[in-house]
Amino acid sequence: MKSFHDIGRKSLGTIYFPLSFILIAGPFWDYSYQIAAAYIILAVADPLASFVGNRKIKTHNYNIAGDIKSIEGSVVMFTATLVLITLVSGFIFIDFDILDTIIAITICSIAITFAESVSSKGSDNLTIPITTFLFIELFNHLNQNNFLNKFLLIIIIIFIFLYYFFRKKHLSLSGFISASFMGTLIVGFGGLDHLIPISIFFISSTILSKLNNHKAIKLESNRNAAQVFANGGLALLLCIVNHFFPNNFLYYSFIAAIAAANSDTWGTEIGKFSKTNPIDIISGKKLDAGESGGVTAIGIVGSLLGSLLISLTGYLFDIDIKYLMMILISGFFASLFDSILGSTFQSRFISKNGLIISESYIKSYYLFTGDKRLNNDAVNFFCTVSSPLFLIIINTIL
């Protein structure tokens, strides 16, 4: 069935649907009510919203992540989700008082609606069930640990903080929604020991970009959903997995992933202050400032300091000094790996006249070097993935 986007578009919904079921039902078969609620919402609320969005009446459309959607469809999505969760609340929110139940139902409905709003090409078949499952589990976890009131206060602060950066154009609308979504899950499942490192990364990287000239700020502003998840997606996944399958090393891996993102960002931003041109990390050839794969002496120092800063946050939460050193090294190595990928496999596109080279695809440009599927966001994601892998290798050796 079509979603509520009144457009003809390529959809991967038939792939995303079984994938969502495998990801949820496979590891969490015992969470039967949460799974049932997730697919009831997908089966009922999404088609109802589709029906409203595709009616031959004037709608108020918006576009966040590539698909045109309607405000009317989103309102129906929220309302239908609210009603459905209310109907099954006795099965999924057990031992909640009335006020907490209302709060849980409302926030779950908002989260599911926003998850749908940033979905594209049929990915709502993935985002709706997973978001439903995670937020139901989140509120059960908060209720069991009597953390709901503190959680709400922290989330309000996060929302205000991110909205400020959205208004200052450091985040796009999709980036603002995705960062809010990520922050909510991280503080809910992980607490402050997970929230503080990723907050330090975001704040420090933003401050560094402000210290550069206006052109640099413009290039680094308006982070969208893809960029948010490229830098923090793995950390979010590790936080969630650590909730369901507690293990100290998963937390160390979480810190390592953030250390990699911070190391890479600091290396890039501090490297812009270099008075000499960067050199290619593989060939040693001189490059223009900002080209992928380039490194400078001051940028390498910046990478090391960026990884050090995040590693030190682990000291606040009693991580052994041995693991702090391993996280520091892993994050730094990951930033070097990022530069290697940038030099070898990251896509670059060249203009017809051969005068302009861009990392982003532009219509009428041709692939110049690298793999067209490996853009800067993909390289950043692989950077964060490599850091926990380096951590595992170092831990095995030592």
Q: What is the pLDDT of residue 186?
A: 97
68's tokens: 């045109």
pLDDT reading at 175 higher than 50 = yes
> Which segment of 81-90, 160-169, 180-189, 322-331 scores lowest on mean pLDDT?
160-169
Q: State the pLDDT confidence band at 55, using cuts at 50, 70 and 90.
A: low
Q: What is the pLDDT of residue 54?
A: 63
Largest CA distance in the chain: 68
> Which segment of 36-40, 102-106, 147-151, 207-211 scores lowest on mean pLDDT?
207-211
279: enclosing H helix or E strand: strand 279-280
Q: What is the pLDDT of residue 208?
A: 87
Q: CA 280, CA 379: separation in Å to the nearest integer?
A: 16
pLDDT reading at 217 higher than 60 = no
- pLDDT tens by residue, 220-236: 457 888 899 999 999 99
Residue 311 has, within 13 A of its CA and on its CB side, a CA count of 24
Mean pLDDT of 317-326: 93
Q: What is the pLDDT of residue 13?
A: 73
Residue 169, amino acid: K
Q: CA 6, CA 57: separation in Å to the nearest integer?
A: 11
For the four alpha carbons of 303, 309, 315 and 321, in that order, the dihedral sign comes to positive
249's tokens: 């090393």
Asked whether the beta carbons of 205 and 257 are under 8 A apart, the reply is no
Residue 166, amino acid: F
Q: What is the pLDDT of residue 59?
A: 67
pLDDT reading at 307 higher than 80 = yes
Q: State the pLDDT confidence band at 174, using cuts at 50, 70 and 90.
A: confident
CA distance readout (Å), 352 to 216, 364, 374 = 26, 7, 21
Q: State the pLDDT confidence band at 10, using cuts at 50, 70 and 90.
A: low
pLDDT reading at 130 higher than 90 = yes
Q: State the pLDDT confidence band at 53, using cuts at 50, 70 and 90.
A: low
* Nearest C-alpha neighbor of 384 from the set 262, 293, 265, 257: 257
Average confidence score pLDDT of the chain? 87
Domain ranges of the chain: 1-146
Q: What is the pLDDT of residue 372?
A: 77
Q: What is the pLDDT of residue 224?
A: 85
Percent of the chain's residues with pLDDT above 90: 58
Asked whether the beta carbons of 73 and 59 are under 8 A apart, the reply is yes
pLDDT reading at 78 higher than 80 = yes
Q: Where are the beta strands (DSSP E) in 10-121?
A: 61-63, 68-70
Q: What is the pLDDT of residue 232?
A: 94
Q: CA 46, CA 128: separation in Å to the nearest integer?
A: 9
* DSSP tag of 35: H
The pTM for the full model equals: 0.89
pLDDT reading at 3 higher than 60 = no
Q: Are strands 357-358 and 348-350 parallel, antiparallel or unpaired?
A: antiparallel
pLDDT reading at 56 higher than 80 = no
> Which segment of 171-180, 205-214, 370-379 scores lowest on mean pLDDT?
205-214
Q: State the pLDDT confidence band at 6, using cuts at 50, 70 and 90.
A: very low
Q: CA 225, CA 64: separation in Å to the nearest integer?
A: 9
Which of the pair, 242 or 170, is modelled with greater confidence?
242
Q: What is the pLDDT of residue 70?
A: 77
Q: State the pLDDT confidence band at 216, using cuts at 50, 70 and 90.
A: very low
Q: What strands, in cross-sheet order, belong to the sheet with 357-358?
A: 357-358, 348-350, 366-369
Which of the pair, 69 or 320, is modelled with greater confidence?
320
- pLDDT tens by residue, 190-201: 999 999 999 999
* DSSP-derived 3-state class of residue 272: coil
Which of the pair, 265 or 349, is modelled with greater confidence?
265
Please give the full DSSP string across 208-233, using - where no structure is assigned.
HHHHS-HHHHHHH-SB-HHHHHHHHH
Mean pLDDT of 72-91: 93
- pLDDT tens by residue, 247-259: 999 999 999 999 9
